[in-house]
Amino acid sequence: MAKDIFPLTIAEGYAFCNRTTQQKELYEHMDKSRAVVLLAPRRYGKSSLIHKVCNNWENDTNKLVTSTTLFHACDLQSTIDIIITAAHALLDKIIPTISTANMGRIFSQLKKLNITAKMDGASGWSYGLQLSESQQTPESLTALLKQLNDAAKKFNVQCCFVMDEFQQIATLKDHFPIEAAIREAVQNASNISYVFSGSNRNMLRLMFEDSARPFYHQCQKMMLDRISEKHYINHLQEIAKSKWGKESDLSLIKRIFELTERHPFYINYLCSKVWEGTSTPSLSDINNAWASICEAEKNDVLLSMNKISTGQRTILIALARKPESELFSQRFSTSVNMPQSSIQRASKQLEQDDLIYQDDMGQWRPLDPCLKTMVGNNAYLHL
Ligand SMILES: Nc1ncnc2c1ncn2[C@@H]1O[C@H](COP(=O)(O)OP(=O)(O)O)[C@@H](O)[C@H]1O
Ligand SMILES: [Mg+2]
């Protein structure tokens, strides 16, 4: 069994629960060299899903992956630098091993592709993409990605280029031409599938759903929800069996669901505290561990509460006390003492900022499960 069964970062191996349909969907998009944007609130499992599918993809012949994050992109030049580093990593995989027997043929192919090759001592051959004269234009970004696609085509491989934290591009001063330049390359890529993701769902949505932006209608959109109760029960019981030789009492698992509301990060956070001992935890072990998690997360929750308007806060607290399916009903309006128009405005903003979500039963709830516990304990009201 994998070392960390309940990681707080990427879930892999035995730690990875289900997502079978989404794995298949993403794989198929990649296979057809389609561009994809994966949208979900942070800590829902976007990176884990991409990682899992890319690993499977690379196990097949002639399928290669490069992956980067644009987290530190702060202008055009740094964006090009980040992309070129990932492109070079991919080139190293695309270009066949150069031996004395095939040296002449490979060199002439590289020459036609305008790719430079040099011997790097111990690390072997390294390859370079030639940028246009000035390396600081959006056009050079398009040219660089086009050159990469030409190489993939020439050497008959299919590639996947993963760009995480892609919304950072939208924060750059002159972001429009950069978005347009990447769009241009994505649109014309025959052998590269681009997978975009990021932790700010609202900014990503604006990039991909606004008809005035270059990426509008350019990508397959995939949404990730929380993992179903059924799949989590199977997952946790498998781990229980291998750990303790028997299944866990279902009521304990249900308690974990009740507290974490099946938020993937919090399930792992809680289970890493109570599921890894030598015997099954008791109900009070679970309750105590959850209380300590909420205590540790309190500052983060309060920080996000302090950034929002009083109207938004009123709704968030009301939903933490009691989830609601009819946000715009007279009943809810009376209960929070706010006019329906204000509720509409405030709840839209809360949803965009990933502070509330609608569960699979249609109930609106705070996205962060700690909030319910904190409001229940009046912890928020004391600060
Ligand atoms: N399929 C999965 N099965 C089990 N745990 C998962 C799964 N996907 C994600 N997680 C867990 O959820 C948390 C967030 O995962 P991550 O992939 O980093 O999310 P994101 O990229 O959306 O922020 C981590 O603790 C991770 O281990
Ligand atoms: Mg991630």
Domains of the chain: 19-223 (3.40.50.300), 298-383 (1.10.10.10)
Place of tokens 């609130």: 41
Protein residues with C-beta less than 5 angstroms from the ion ligand 2: 47
Per-residue pLDDT band at 1 (split at 50, 70, 90): low
Residue 372 has pLDDT above 90, yes or no: no
CA atoms within 13 A on the CB side of 53: 28
- Which residues have C-beta atoms less than 6 Å from ligand 1? 7-11, 15-17, 19, 40, 42-48, 199, 264-265, 268
Residue 32 has pLDDT above 70, yes or no: yes
Give the per-residue pLDDT at 383: 39
Residue 2 has pLDDT above 60, yes or no: no
**What angle separates helix 138-154 from helix 76-94, to the nearest 10 degrees?**
10
Of 173, 174, 149, the C-alpha closest to 160 is 149
The minimum-distance atom of ligand 1 relative to the CA of 43 is 23
Output the CA 10–ligand 1 centroid distance in Å. Answer: 6
Q: Which helix (H) or strand (E) holds 375?
A: helix 369-376
Q: Which ligand is nearest to the CA of 225?
A: 1
Sorted by sequence, the CB contacts under 8 Å of residue 210 that are 6+ apart come out as 216
Output the CA 265–ligand 2 centroid distance in Å. Answer: 11
Q: Mean pLDDT, to the nearest integer, of 309-320?
A: 95
Q: Which ligand is nearest to the CA of 69?
A: 2
The minimum-distance atom of ligand 1 relative to the CA of 224 is 22
Distance CA 364, CA 76 (A): 40
Residue 106 has pLDDT above 90, yes or no: no
More confidently predicted of 107 and 12: 12
Q: Mean pLDDT, to the nearest integer, of 228-232?
A: 97
Kindly report the protein residue whose alpha carbon is nearest to atom 9 of ligand 1: 45
Q: Mean pLDDT, to the nearest integer, of 77-104?
A: 88
Residue 128 has pLDDT above 90, yes or no: no
Distance CA 113, CA 95 (A): 11
Distances (CA, A) of 58 to 8, 95, 153, 158, 258: 24, 15, 17, 10, 38
Residue 4 has pLDDT above 60, yes or no: yes
- Best of 5, 43, 196, 263 to mutate for ligand 1, by most ligand atoms within 8 A of CB? 43
More confidently predicted of 277 and 282: 282
Place of tokens 């179903």: 228
Q: Which ligand is nearest to the CA of 44?
A: 1
Per-residue pLDDT band at 117 (split at 50, 70, 90): confident
Are 336 and 347 within 8 A, CB to CB?
A: no
Output the CA 69–ligand 2 centroid distance in Å. Answer: 9
**Other CB atoms within 10 A of residue 211 CB:** 6
Structure tokens at 114: 């305008």
Q: What is the DSSP letter of 113?
A: T
Q: Mean pLDDT, to the nearest integer, of 152-163?
A: 96
Q: What percent of the chain has pLDDT over 90?
A: 75
Residue 382 has pLDDT above 90, yes or no: no
Distance CA 20, CA 184 (A): 32
Output the CA 243–ligand 2 centroid distance in Å. Answer: 28
Q: Please state, rounded to an integer, the average pLDDT across all residues of the chain.
A: 91
Output the CA 297–ligand 1 centroid distance in Å. Answer: 18
Output the CA 248–ligand 2 centroid distance in Å. Answer: 30
Give the per-residue pLDDT at 112: 85
Tens of pLDDT, residues 48-69:
999 999 999 999 989 999 999 9
Measured at the CA of 242, the angle between CA 273 and CA 12, to 5 degrees, comes to 65
Please tell me the pTM assigned to this model.
0.93
Residue 380 has pLDDT above 60, yes or no: no
Residue 114 has pLDDT above 90, yes or no: no
Per-residue pLDDT band at 376 (split at 50, 70, 90): confident
Q: 115-129, 255-269, 319-333, 354-368 — which is least confidently predicted?
A: 115-129
Give the per-residue pLDDT at 132: 55
Residue 98 has pLDDT above 80, yes or no: no
Q: Mean pLDDT, to the nearest integer, of 117-130?
A: 78
Output the CA 44–ligand 1 centroid distance in Å. Answer: 5
Q: 130-134, 220-224, 261-265 — which is least confidently predicted?
A: 130-134
Sorted by sequence, the CB contacts under 8 Å of residue 370 that are 6+ apart come out as 266, 293, 294, 297, 298, 301
Q: Mean pLDDT, to the nearest integer, of 98-116?
A: 84
Give the per-residue pLDDT at 113: 85
- Best of 8, 26, 265 to mutate for ligand 1, by most ligand atoms within 8 A of CB? 265
